[in-house]
Structure 1
């Protein structure tokens, strides 16, 4: 339990940051899973609509990674590594 005002404020700030971090990290993980699921269906169908859907998902992953990096949720090299790997998977199909 906090003993002074600054300790109470730090607890509130830590909780706010924890929720913000969780939002970005879980959203990125969910979108990556969706990306790989759609990538498998694109490998089978080779349909242009599926490719556009993949590019749209990839764009939203990039956006969340960049915003998270800007807010110090992801390290810049970790975000760059994730973006690079995902782009390589799409290019390899």
Structure 2
């Protein structure tokens, strides 16, 4: 289905969006944004995106402790989701 946009235009819009979100300016510093990105990519299960986030974090000199903490936060979201789903399936209150 074509709504007046070709694939190249869509990719161009995406690239501008990506550059605006991850560019040098923002309320959050770049490292913080990429730590959030790491957690989101892990939650989404996107291997390519996770590798990208880790690569940028290394360039931004994120420490192993910062990266590990972001991973831990992502793990709590996944664990909470699994716990709540199990309770729902069993008919229990969260």
Q: TM-score, normalised by structure 1?
A: 0.37
Report 1 or 2 for greater relative contact order, CA contacts < 8 Å, sequence distance ≥ 6.
1
Larger helix proportion, structure 1 or 2?
Answer: 1
Q: TM-score, normalised by structure 2?
A: 0.37
